[in-house]
Amino acid sequence: MEKDSILFNAANKGDIDQLKTFFTKDLEFFHDVGGLAGYEETVDNFRRVAKNYSYTRRVLLPGSVEVYPIKDYGAIQSGLHQFCRLENGILTHCGTFKFVHIWKHTEEGWKISRVVSYGH
């Protein structure tokens, strides 16, 4: 899904303004370690990571993504991503985790309404 690569790039650049456009205002972000967060808390988390952990990179594992339509709503996307440390242009200390995004087709375009991030 092309939108996901744009999302990953925005996260890796710390582009909070662009990141905010990917999510519905009623976002629910479920994280197995961090718990449940809404839209504002999720945006604040992105800001914190961009400020304090700018060396972190999110990398989609090729071939891991599956997308299935949801009738009259949007789509379910699942896959594997890695969070790595960028040191001297090289990705190191990678951890592999699972994610599910529920994409909603809105009047403004495709937006993520639910995130499940797990396997940490």
Q: Which residues contact 1 (CB under 8 A, 6 or more apart)?
A: 65, 67, 77, 103
What SS3 state is found at 18? helix
Close Cβ partners of 60 (under 8 Å, ≥ 6 residues apart): 4, 5, 8, 79, 80, 81
> Each residue of 34-86: pLDDT tens digit?
999 999 999 999 999 888 877 788 888 889 999 999 999 999 999 999 988 88
- pLDDT category at 87 given cuts 50, 70, 90 is confident
The CATH number of the domain where 33 resides is what? 3.10.450.50
What range defines the domain where residue 80 resides? 2-12+28-118
Answer whether residue 64 is part of any domain. yes
Distance (Å, whole) CA 18 – CA 9: 10
User: Is 19 contained in some domain?
Assistant: no
